Amino acid sequence: MTGRDRADATAPTDDDAAELIAQLKELAGADPADVRQVVAEVLAALDRAAGGALRDHLPATIRAEAGLDAAPARR
């Protein structure tokens, strides 16, 4: 098995993307404040997983709303 094969085995599939889209659409009908909180938590978790690099690619308003401006970037 090559390095590329191993990466492909753990790569997200179209089914994973479709499930995430369905969950986000379901959330969209919920209370907007709850949706904003969930999105902020997801962005913060993704930023942590990326070692703080995600915040560099987000607009300032989204960083502030997700609480990423206050947290120091880890690199």
Answer with the residue of higher pLDDT: 6 or 26: 26
Q: Output the average pLDDT for the chain.
A: 76
Distance CA 4, CA 36 (A): 37
Look at residue 19 and tell me if it is in a domain: yes
Look at residue 10 and tell me if it is in a domain: yes
Look at residue 24 and tell me if it is in a domain: yes
Look at residue 72 and tell me if it is in a domain: no
Assessment of whether the complete model's pTM goes beyond 0.75: no
36-56 tens-digit pLDDT: 888 888 889 989 999 999 999
Structural domain total, the chain:
1
Look at residue 52 and tell me if it is in a domain: yes
29 has a pLDDT exceeding 60: yes
* Domain carrying residue 35: 3-65
For residue 42, give Cα distances in angstroms to 35, 36, 39: 11, 10, 5
Q: What is the pLDDT of residue 49?
A: 92
Averaged over 31-37, what is the pLDDT?
Answer: 80
Query: Is 51 in a helix, a strand, or coil?
Result: coil
Look at residue 75 and tell me if it is in a domain: no
Look at residue 74 and tell me if it is in a domain: no
